[in-house]
Each structure stands twice: as structure tokens, then as C-alpha cells.
């Protein structure tokens, strides 16, 4: 499938996907299609997809609604939680407005308590996420996935068959494989595209309701990047940066820009919006499909897990495969789990992998852009 458009145009289309989906979600509702909103990579979207629902990531990456959220929530709370709640409370997020149900999960304490407030004006289904990846945790999580399926069946008066779930698993796995192939183009040195452009596609794809369309679009884009690379079109050789830490998107894209405006190139993202959410597949041939889904999601290496070896495993692999020169750990203010874990990550990156590491703490405002530029310019220069 040949893409006629230029690459920059395609990247912009993905960047605008969120806005385009505002109209798409309204159309879904007009057709009577259920919409399920979520905030987290742990959300097992295959269960909702099996019912034929549209799944969407809800607005949570701008400081626009934070003042409104702070009327109910403490000021010294993570901006992602305040933003999520603010958009919900003010109805400024069309996705939230049109969602029939919002699926929350017991990741961090701030989110858990925020969902209690949110449930006062929206149907919120809370999934009990264990905080460890041991066998008892897996059994609990599998039970929660089945409970979620039963909740959807009861709420929407449908039956979700195992066959439908397996079909949804195949669809989502195909989307993951395509996105994975796309971000693997960054293994080339020099890199074929900017990290900012890669991120536009990864982030934009989370707003696509019809997940079956992703492979076609993304595979065509990957083929075009590879073709142009073979013809000699690429970025200049620059220090190769991996970004890890809290979820990136919206306001926090300033960290990617600060790296790339100051002489570096972001070749891989370990965050939720990057490798973490598409690295592992669900075992399509598993005898027990609920167990397979539970394993795939519970294995995500998030800082809410104790201990959290899977984050280090993925981080180590990405550092090696993408020939990373330095690691930037992006921490949102008042995100305690990721903030406490910076010590572990620093020791792993500098000690075990022997490369430089920096952690930057930020929020959703534009106030610290100068400081970010100064610190990241110095970091890149040192490389």
C-alpha cells in the first residue's frame, strides 16, 4: 500500500487524531455504539472491544482544567490526576462526556480517591489492580477481568462470548505489532525521523476507535520511512536518548522538544504511551483466554508494582537495542511511586548499563521550559 502523502503530513494527521476523534465519538453515540473511557495502560480493552464498544483514552494531559479540579482536590496532587478530574468535572473532554462508563483502576492512592469523587457524576467501574505481580495477584486480576466482562454484559444487556474476546485479542495484537514495527525504525543510527514525530503516531493511535484500521495505516507509514531511509533521507547523527518515567502526552511533550531542540534525538520511549503499552502481546492460543489477558496486562512494569523488575527488564532491552547514549527520567510533580523509583532507575542505568542518567521533575505548565532547556542542553552536551 503506497502512501502518496509526505511524511510530515502523515505525522500531523496522527497528531490531529485526537481532535478528529471528537467528531467520531459523537457519531458512535448517534449510532448507539457504547463508548468505554479509560485512563490507564492496565485497562484490558479487549473485553470492551469484544462487546463492540469504542474504547478511548480520556483527556488528562493539559493544565487547562486544573484550577477547577483544585476546588475539590489538593493542590499538591499529581497534575495528571487533577487534569483528569478537571476535564471530567467541567465537561471539557468530549470523550468523557460521551463515555457510557469510565474504567478506573487502583494504581496509585491519588487516583483511587479521585475516582470516588468522579463516580458522583459518572458511571465509574473500578478494577482492583494488585500491587504485586506474584501468582495471588494474577488470580485476583483475572477475577477482576471476568467481573468487568460480567458488568458490561449486565449494563448493556449483551452476552460477550469467548470467541468475541479471542477475536478482539487478535485485532489488538495486530495493532500492537504494527506500532512496535514502527517504533523499531528508530534502531537505525542515525535515526530516520525525530522522536517527536514518532510520538505523534504512538499518542495519536490511542484515539483511534476502530483498532482494525491501525495496522494498514501504520505499516504503510513504516514502509515509507524505511524506503526513504534506504534512499538516504535521515536525521543527523546526534546523541540517542531514551525517555522513561511518568506518562507523556500533551503538556509533557515539552520534555521531548527540550531534548530535540538542544541537539539530542529521542529514539525510544519506555513510558505508558511508548514501548510499555505495546511491548507484550496476549497469547492468542492460550487455553484460558482470561488468564492470558490477565498475564499480559499484569506484566506491565509500572512503578505502582512492588517489586518492579519488568520495568528494568524492558529498560535494559531498549537501551541495548536502540544503542542509547543517555536516559531521561520524566517525573510529574507529586507522583510518588515514579519519584521514589528514580533511585533504582539511576543505579540501574549508570551502574549496570554504564550510561548517563538525568531525572527531571515537571508539571503541565509552561513555566519551567527555560529550566528544562538549560538542564537537558547540558545533559546532551555532556554526551
DSSP annotation of 39 reads -
DSSP-based three-state secondary structure for 92: coil
Q: Are 359 and 342 in contact, with CB atoms under 8 Å apart? A: yes
Other C-beta atoms lying within 10 Å of the C-beta of residue 309: 10
Q: Does residue 288 sit within a domain?
A: no
Q: Look at residue 5 in the predicted model and tell me its pLDDT.
A: 77
Q: Look at residue 18 in the predicted model and tell me its pLDDT.
A: 87
Mean pLDDT by 10 residues, the chain (383 residues): 72 90 93 97 98 95 96 98 98 96 97 98 98 97 98 98 98 98 98 97 92 96 98 97 95 96 98 95 98 98 98 98 98 97 98 98 96 98 97
Q: Does residue 129 sit within a domain?
A: yes
Q: Does residue 90 sit within a domain?
A: yes
Q: Distance between CA atoms of 219 and 17, rounded to whole angstroms?
A: 17
Q: Look at residue 235 in the predicted model and tell me its pLDDT.
A: 97
Q: Does residue 125 sit within a domain?
A: yes
Q: Does residue 331 sit within a domain?
A: no
| pLDDT per residue as tens digits for the range 256-312 | 999 999 999 999 999 998 999 999 999 999 999 999 999 999 999 999 999 999 999
DSSP-based three-state secondary structure for 242: strand
Q: Does residue 345 sit within a domain?
A: no
Q: Look at residue 3 in the predicted model and tell me its pLDDT.
A: 44
Q: Does residue 111 sit within a domain?
A: yes
| Domain hosting residue 144, numbered range | 12-162
- CATH of residue 90: 3.40.50.11890
DSSP-based three-state secondary structure for 102: strand
| pLDDT per residue as tens digits for the range 203-255 | 999 999 999 999 999 999 999 999 999 999 999 999 999 999 999 998 999 99
Q: Domain count of the chain?
A: 1
Q: Are 163 and 46 in contact, with CB atoms under 8 Å apart? A: no
Q: Does residue 31 sit within a domain?
A: yes
Helical ranges in the chain per DSSP H: 7-15, 17-30, 45-50, 66-69, 79-90, 94-98, 109-118, 135-156, 162-183, 195-205, 214-230, 253-260, 275-278, 289-298, 309-321, 336-346, 369-382
Q: Distance between CA atoms of 179 and 320, rounded to whole angstroms?
A: 20
Q: Which three cell numbers stand for residue 92?
A: 471539557
Amino acid at each position: 500500500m503506497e502512501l502518496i502523502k509526505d511524511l510530515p503530513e502523515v505525522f500531523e494527521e496522527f497528531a490531529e487524531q485526537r481532535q478528529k476523534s471528537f467528531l467520531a465519538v459523537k457519531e458512535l453515540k448517534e449510532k448507539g455504539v457504547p463508548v468505554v473511557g479509560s485512563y490507564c495502560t492496565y485497562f484490558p480493552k479487549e473485553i470492551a472491544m469484544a462487546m463492540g464498544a469504542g474504547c478511548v483514552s480520556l483527556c488528562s494531559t493539559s493544565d487547562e482544567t486544573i484550577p477547577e479540579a483544585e476546588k475539590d482536590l489538593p493542590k499538591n496532587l499529581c497534575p495528571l490526576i487533577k487534569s483528569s478530574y478537571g476535564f471530567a468535572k467541567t465537561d471539557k473532554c468530549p470523550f468523557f462526556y460521551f463515555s457510557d462508563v469510565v474504567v478506573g483502576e487502583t494504581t496509585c492512592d491519588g487516583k483511587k480517591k479521585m475516582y470516588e469523587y468522579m463516580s458522583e457524576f459518572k458511571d465509574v467501574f473500578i478494577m482492583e489492580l494488585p500491587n504485586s505481580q506474584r501468582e495471588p495477584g494474577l488470580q485476583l486480576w483475572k477475577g477482576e477481568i471476568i467481573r468487568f466482562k460480567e458488568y458490561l454484559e449486565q449494563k448493556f444487556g449483551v452476552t460477550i462470548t469467548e470467541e468475541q474476546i479471542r477475536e478482539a485479542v487478535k485485532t489488538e495484537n495486530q495493532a500492537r505489532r504494527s506500532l512496535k514495527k514502527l517504533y523499531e525504525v528508530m534502531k537505525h543510527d542515525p535515526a530516520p525521523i525525530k522522536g517527536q514525530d514518532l510520538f505523534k503516531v504512538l499518542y495519536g493511535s490511542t484515539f483511534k476507535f476502530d483498532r482494525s484500521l491501525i495496522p494498514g495505516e501504520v505499516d504503510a507509514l513504516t514502509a515509507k520511512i524505511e524506503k526513504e531511509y534506504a534512499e538516504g533521507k535521515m536525521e543527523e547523527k546526534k546523541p540517542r536518548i531514551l525517555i522513561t518515567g511518568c506518562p507523556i502526552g500533551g503538556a509533557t511533550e515539552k520534555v521531548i522538544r527540550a531534548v530535540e531542540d538542544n541537539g539530542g534525538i529521542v529514539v525510544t520511549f519506555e513510558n505508558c504511551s511508548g514501548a510499555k503499552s505495546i511491548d507484550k502481546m496476549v497469547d492468542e492460543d492460550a487455553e484460558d483466554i482470561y488468564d492470558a489477558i490477565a498475564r499480559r496486562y499484569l506484566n506491565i512494569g509500572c512503578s505502582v508494582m512492588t517489586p518492579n523488575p519488568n520495568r528494568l527488564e524492558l529498560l535494559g532491552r531498549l537501551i541495548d537495542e536502540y544503542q542509547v547514549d543517555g536516559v531521561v527520567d520524566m517525573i510529574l510533580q507529586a507522583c510518588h511511586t515514579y519519584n521514589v523509583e528514580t533511585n533504582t532507575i539511576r543505579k540501574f542505568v549508570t551502574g549496570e548499563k554504564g550510561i548517563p542518567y538525568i531525572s527531571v521533575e515537571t508539571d503541565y505548565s509552561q513555566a519551567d521550559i527555560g529550566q528544562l532547556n538549560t538542564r537537558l542542553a547540558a545533559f546532551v552536551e555532556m554526551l
